[in-house]
Amino acid sequence: MSELATCPICGAKILPSVVPMYDDGLDASTASCFNGKCLYRVRREDHNTLARRAEIGALVERIVAAEKGLLTIGRTPCRDGSQIYSAWSSRPVGEALSLLDALRELEKEVCGE
């Protein structure tokens, strides 16, 4: 089982649960935020995708707001079937195996640590 990403809303740990979220007969397990004040709770199978996309969205928003100019995001397929993602604003910043890592690098460069 892959590790659960942190909560896309408050950043707290996520707890897996065996309690079904919906009464749909599927018995889908859930991912619930450990922070009792946070309402975040989704199907476990959807959680990491949702958390990754929320982080990509947050990074893109921050970078576009911080750096005037073009934010370019690209993907380069490699011969071995893998792919490299690049994100650059004024100049290329690193190369990463995931879009999220490429954006994290660029955010550090543009917005500071």
Partner 1 sequence: MSEEPMPMSDDEITLRELLAYAYAGASLYADDGELQDSRRAPFIDFLRDSPDDIAAKMRKRGKAALDAAGGERKILSDSARRAEIGRIVESLVAQQELILEDDSLPAKPRFCATVVGKAGVYEPTLLDALRSLAAELEVSGE
Applying CB under 8 A, the residues found at the interface with partner 1 are 8-10, 36-37, 39-40, 50, 52-58, 60-61, 64-65, 68-75, 85, 99
Closest CB to partner 1 among residues 27, 90: 90
Give the residue carrying structure tokens 């949702």. Answer: 50
Buried b (16+ CB within 10 A) or exposed e, 33-47: beeeeeebbbebeeb
Q: What's the min distance (Å) between Cβ of 103 and partner 1?
A: 9
Closest CB to partner 1 among residues 28, 56: 56
Q: What's the min distance (Å) between Cβ of 110 and partner 1?
A: 12
Interacting residues of 59 by C-beta distance below 8 A, sequence separation 6+: 100, 103, 104, 106, 107
What does the block give as tokens for 53? 């996309």
Q: What's the min distance (Å) between Cβ of 50 and partner 1?
A: 6
